[in-house]
Structure 1
Amino acid sequence: MSARSRWVILGIALLAQIAAVSAMFGVPFVLPELRDAYGLTTPQAGALAGLPGAGLLVTLLGWGVLIDRYGERLMMTVNLLLTAFFLVMLRVADGPIGVGALLAFVGASAGPLNAASGRLVLGWFAEHERGLAMGIRQMAQPLGMGLAAAALPFAAGHWGFTGAMLLPATLCAATAPLVAVLTATPRRTAAESAAPTVAPTASPYRFGTIWRVHGASGLLAVPQFTVLTYALVYLVQEHGWTAPAAGAALACAHIPGAAARLGLGAWSDRVGSRLRPVRTIAAVSGTALLLLSLSPLALPAAGVVLILVCAVLSMSHNGLTFTAVAETAGMAWAGRAMAAQNTIQSLGSMTAPAMMALVIHWFGMNPMFAVAAVFCVAAIAVVPVARR
């Protein structure tokens, strides 16, 4: 394929991941319709909304093995079609148990697209341009969330819960033939474009570098999901905002968040390192979180600006750590390594809110941000800065 075709493949990978994100994380945006359709309480509906994440966690490492063995094009096509099928089957689900099972299957089938599309981009772009390429691909999460937030509530108001979920089903089904026809197995491997730190067929998990990359990413997931979970409550409770106004402000923060992933990817290409910028972002994020925790003592109004800054910073590191773990693993292990990275992120999304709920209960909202800053400091110590 030509150099131009690489960018077509990148665009298709971005579209596939947007489809997966809208399928996996779209349910919270139609939670009232899900609750009313099956006579559930809000906590019960919320539990169903979390089942795609559970399905991802249970199956993702296994999918990573299949991605490495059978290639990205086949597995992405299969996963998109399965995701569309399970979303369509919601129309005939038998009560909350059937819906819950199908939502878990949605997570199990859509989740691997992150690792597969990342491996595809990794193979088609040389090391000196992967930061930018992966930064573009990592924009899928905020774009997919924004698309779901904009379209699904409107659709649910007209067609109900199952009707709304046909939108991500349609996007997945429409993207599958594009993946099957217009993408291809990369002609070169990571070993050909840059010498890896280990032999391509050796397990990178025999060495400490990849564990440190995973560890830094896991530590940074705590402040990321702390801010994402409690920012709206903070604006409402501490600053008297209405929930719709706070939600709109935080939705807008996804735009510079997506741009930050792109910019940091390009920066990492220029400086020849993925992880030195991660260390810088961790330091800046930790400082912002600490200032946020102290803002009531000096300038309370600054808390509004700081929480939005923290929201942008907290989501900006993902593209760099994702690229770093794939490059460290090499193409032979990239699918499994990126699946493991996704698993760590998912665990962070599940554990950080519960852990910080205890901090809020014992100490209050503002000290919670100082605790989150400690995880940024720990990440700085863990990041293996000698590795790209």
Structure 2
Amino acid sequence: MLAANRWFVLCVAISAQIASICALFGVPFVIPELRAAYGLTVAQAGTLAGMPSLGLLLTLLAWGVAIDRYGERVTMTLSLLLTAGVLALLAAVDSPVGVGVLLALVGAASGPVNAASGRLVLGWFAAHERGLAMGIRQAAQPLGMALAAALLPLLAERYGFVTAMLLPAGLSLATAPLAALFATGARQARAPRADPGGEGATGSPYLRSTIWRVHGTSMLLGVPQSALMTYALVYLVDEHGWRAATAGVFISLVQLPGALVRLGAGAWSDRIGNRLGPVRIIAAATGAALLLLAGAAWTSSAAGVVLLALCLLLSMSHNGLTFTAVAETAGLAWAGRAMAVQNSLQSVAATLTPLIAGALIQTWGYAVAFAGTALFCGLAIAVVPPGHPAGGITSARR
């Protein structure tokens, strides 16, 4: 029964994460409608797409403290309800500035779901299966992206941007009761154990360099991921003449194997007993694929479509590994804050990347933007800390 419960808790975490991802990262899939409705340039629309990440950045550390203090159930439920409420307010504004403010508030409200759901996994799963469990939980990101990419462009094309964003609002509202009832973390579990492992057991993990290097790796790899997710649809529309709805379906289909790749990466790290060795390989493959995509964009080759799919697939495959690594490094007592810090640093990348990449696209084209993001993969390879065996936290429930 206990073994079955932990998988059910994981399903609740996945559901909450999918709703949150749709709210946080759904705007790039309706950029054509934003541009048409407000007369925006690519860079301006990309800036609006980055506003949820700005709101996320400004509030994540506070949410991390709240998660460690009040637990996953309270913070996840409150977050989902607030997210639904703010998205509903989009109908009351009629200017790009108003939309931007509300999108930033969406990011602020959505903040704790990723860290809190990750903390659930840490408490319920032992080290030998934690990579797989976190990979399954992290698969919620491509699944949420797939849902947003498949439905939001179609809804926006038919009914407008505001109506389309009611989809993530509805998902958040529907998921909140599940979080309230079942998102019980290890601290509330019967007969919990103290955390005997991880650096967090002997003091702050931030007194050591390892956790900062894991954070840096995650932040650097977030740059190509953010650039691709923001401008993939626009690239297909502008450079290949696709309809936005068709491009959305294409991106949605790419996300599905992306979810499987995250599961495979997690299982791989469990098998070899190392979280970050696979991250180096993923970073190298992503950088190489981005350079090929840049070449295809420069020559206007039809191969750009296939290479775009490959880049999307590779760029999303590291998240579960880096989140598991940072949580295990921090220890359960620090896990909420550590994952919030990691989310914050990723949000810096997700906030600035659409703005900078949009300016590069507008000035020099997609080829330069794609090549520029490949550089961050090379930097990530240099920053990844050596070693990092799996484990460090003992599950509170078996």
TM-score bracket, normalised by the shorter chain, equals 0.7 to 0.9
After superposing the two structures, state which structure 1 stretch, 129-138 or 26-35, moved more: 26-35
Distance 2:353 2:102 in 1: 26
Unaligned runs of 5+ in 1: none
After superposing the two structures, state which structure 1 stretch, 252-261 or 264-273, moved more: 252-261
- The reply on whether 1:55 has 2:55 as its aligned counterpart is yes
TM-score (norm 2): 0.84
In structure 2, the CA distance between the partners of 1:209 and 1:146, relative to structure 1 (3 Å rule), is same
In structure 2, the CA distance between the partners of 1:299 and 1:34, relative to structure 1 (3 Å rule), is closer
1:5 aligned partner, one-letter code: N
1:321 partner SS = helix
CA-CA distance at 1:141 after TM superposition:
1.6
TM-score (norm 1): 0.86
CA-CA distance at 1:276 after TM superposition:
0.7
Q: 1:42 aligned to 31, 40, 43, which one?
A: 40
Whether the 8 Å contact between 1:231 and 1:307 is mirrored in structure 2 is: yes
What residue in structure 2 maps to residue 204 of structure 1? 205
Any residues of structure 2 matched to 1:117-156 within 5 Å, and which?
117-156=117-156
CA-CA distance at 1:227 after TM superposition:
3.2
Structure 1 residues 296-350: Cα deviation after superposition (integer angstroms, max 9, x where no partner): 8999555443332122111111111111111111111111111111112121123
Whether the 8 Å contact between 1:123 and 1:190 is mirrored in structure 2 is: no
CA-CA distance at 1:262 after TM superposition:
1.2
After superposing the two structures, state which structure 1 stretch, 171-180 or 262-271, moved more: 171-180
- The reply on whether 1:111 has 2:111 as its aligned counterpart is yes
Distance 1:361 1:170 in 2: 35
Distance 2:31 2:375 in 1: 34
What residue in structure 2 maps to residue 253 of structure 1? 254
What residue in structure 2 maps to residue 20 of structure 1? 20
What residue in structure 1 maps to residue 273 of structure 2? 272
Whether the 8 Å contact between 2:54 and 2:351 is mirrored in structure 1 is: no
Distance 1:135 1:311 in 2: 17
Whether the 8 Å contact between 1:189 and 1:331 is mirrored in structure 2 is: no
In structure 2, the CA distance between the partners of 1:160 and 1:253, relative to structure 1 (3 Å rule), is closer
Any residues of structure 2 matched to 1:143-292 within 5 Å, and which?
143-156=143-156, 160-186=160-186, 187=189, 188=192, 191-192=195-196, 195-196=197-198, 198-200=199-201, 202-232=203-233, 240-244=240-244, 246-292=247-293
After superposing the two structures, state which structure 1 stretch, 198-207 or 359-368, moved more: 359-368
In structure 2, the CA distance between the partners of 1:190 and 1:325, relative to structure 1 (3 Å rule), is farther
1:149 aligned partner, one-letter code: A
Q: Which has the higher contact order (CA 8 A, sep 6+)?
A: 2
The percentage of counterpart residues that share the same residue type is: 59
Structure 1 residues 143-166: Cα deviation after superposition (integer angstroms, max 9, x where no partner): 112222333344456665444433
The number of aligned residues is: 381
Distance 2:183 2:358 in 1: 44
Distance 2:370 2:93 in 1: 43
Whether the 8 Å contact between 2:18 and 2:141 is mirrored in structure 1 is: yes
Unaligned runs of 5+ in 2: 390-398
What residue in structure 1 maps to residue 395 of structure 2? none
Distance 2:360 2:325 in 1: 32
What residue in structure 2 maps to residue 318 of structure 1? 319
- The reply on whether 1:334 has 2:335 as its aligned counterpart is yes
Whether the 8 Å contact between 1:190 and 1:327 is mirrored in structure 2 is: no
Aligned residues: CA RMSD:
3.1
In structure 2, the CA distance between the partners of 1:280 and 1:105, relative to structure 1 (3 Å rule), is same
Distance 1:163 1:356 in 2: 28
Distance 1:154 1:357 in 2: 23
After superposing the two structures, state which structure 1 stretch, 328-337 or 351-360, moved more: 351-360
CA-CA distance at 1:234 after TM superposition:
5.2
CA-CA distance at 1:374 after TM superposition:
2.9
